[in-house]
């Protein structure tokens, strides 16, 4: 499949943003093959702009409230991962309060996990998210852990278990599966700590428990006994 790419202009006025919007709205293939088109445009943006310059572009795309433009903003930002620093976190911190979808939670969570790897002190910020009453912010905290584990960048079981505990009562089935996966993976780091946690929360939602005990199936029998009492 070939793509027609319009030349992108430096962000000195509104012409650049109009170019992006026109590209997204008028490219028929964008709606059929969204990811390939995002990759093409995101890579062009990455080559054209420094991270500091791109923050301005991100703002314009993010504030448009268009799903396509916000996806482009996030996807492009991910390409700057080697340059992330504490300022990237402060920049995102103002944006995440407006997140309203799982796609954005997962993508932003991956970015924050990369920042956390570089700046371990950011853990206290992730803990604060896990305690927030906003369910989307709580879910970002688990997404950070999910990608941290996936990329083998988080190896602190106590931190992971704390985040899991803050999200263990969530009623969304898909989200419960992710929480259970985190608990299962945490057991690979420190099995006795994860086992102790599971026993303490033996009446956790079924989906979480089933996912968490994939490698500790003996605990499933214990849960059944507990339920009979």
Same domain as 220, residue 183: yes
Same domain as 71, residue 41: yes
pLDDT of residue 117: 96
Count of domains observed in the chain:
3
Same domain as 78, residue 1: yes
pLDDT of residue 113: 97
Say how many C-beta atoms besides its own lie within 10 A of residue 160's C-beta.
Answer: 25
Out of 60, 83, 106, pick the residue that ends a domain. Answer: 83
Same domain as 53, residue 116: no
Same domain as 78, residue 4: yes
Same domain as 210, residue 162: yes
Same domain as 148, residue 132: yes
How far apart (Å, rounded) are the C-alpha atoms in residues 70 and 65? 7
Contact indicator for 45, 57 with CB cutoff of 8 Å: yes
Same domain as 91, residue 77: no
pLDDT of residue 206: 94
CA torsion sign for 196, 198, 201, 203 is negative
Same domain as 8, residue 61: yes
Out of 101, 126, 154, pick the residue that ends a domain. Answer: 154
Range of the domain at 124: 84-154
Average pLDDT, integer, range 71-86? 96
pTM: 0.81
Residue 226 pLDDT grade (very low, low, confident, very high; cuts 50, 70, 90): low
pLDDT in tens, 161-220: 999 999 999 998 988 999 999 999 999 999 999 999 999 999 999 999 999 999 999 998
Same domain as 171, residue 128: no
Helix (H, G, I), strand (E, B) or coil at 8: coil
pLDDT in tens, 90-107: 999 999 999 989 899 999
Torsion of CA 139, 96, 126, 138, to 10 degrees: -20
In order, the DSSP letters of 59-105 are: HHHHTT--HHHHHHHHHHHHTTGGG--HHHHHHHHTTGGG--SHHHH
Q: Which two tokens mark 188?
A: 């690979």
Same domain as 32, residue 108: no
Out of 83, 99, 117, pick the residue that ends a domain. Answer: 83
Same domain as 215, residue 186: yes
How far apart (Å, rounded) are the C-alpha atoms in residues 228 and 18? 64
């Amino acid at each position: 499949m070939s793509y027609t790419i319009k030349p992108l202009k430096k962000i000195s006025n509104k012409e650049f943003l109009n170019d992006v919007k026109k590209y997204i709205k008028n490219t028929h293939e964008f709606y059929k093959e969204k990811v390939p088109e995002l990759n093409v445009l995101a890579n062009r943006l990455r080559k054209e702009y420094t991270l500091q310059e791109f923050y301005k572009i991100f703002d314009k795309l993010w504030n448009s409230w268009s799903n396509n433009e916000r996806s482009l903003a996030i996807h492009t930002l991910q390409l700057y991962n080697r340059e992330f620093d504490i300022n990237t976190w402060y920049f995102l911190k103002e944006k995440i309060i407006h997140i309203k979808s799982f796609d954005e939670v997962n993508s932003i969570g991956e970015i924050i996990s990369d920042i956390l790897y570089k700046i371990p002190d950011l853990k206290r910020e992730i803990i604060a998210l896990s305690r927030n009453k906003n369910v989307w912010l709580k879910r970002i905290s688990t997404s950070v852990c999910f990608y941290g584990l996936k990329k083998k960048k988080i190896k602190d079981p106590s931190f992971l278990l704390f985040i899991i505990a803050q999200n263990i009562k969530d009623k969304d089935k898909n989200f419960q599966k992710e929480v259970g996966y985190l608990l299962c993976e945490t057991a690979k780091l420190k099995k006795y700590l994860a086992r102790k946690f599971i026993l303490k929360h033996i009446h956790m939602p079924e989906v979480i428990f089933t996912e968490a005990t994939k490698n500790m199936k003996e605990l499933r029998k214990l849960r059944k006994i507990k339920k009979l009492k």
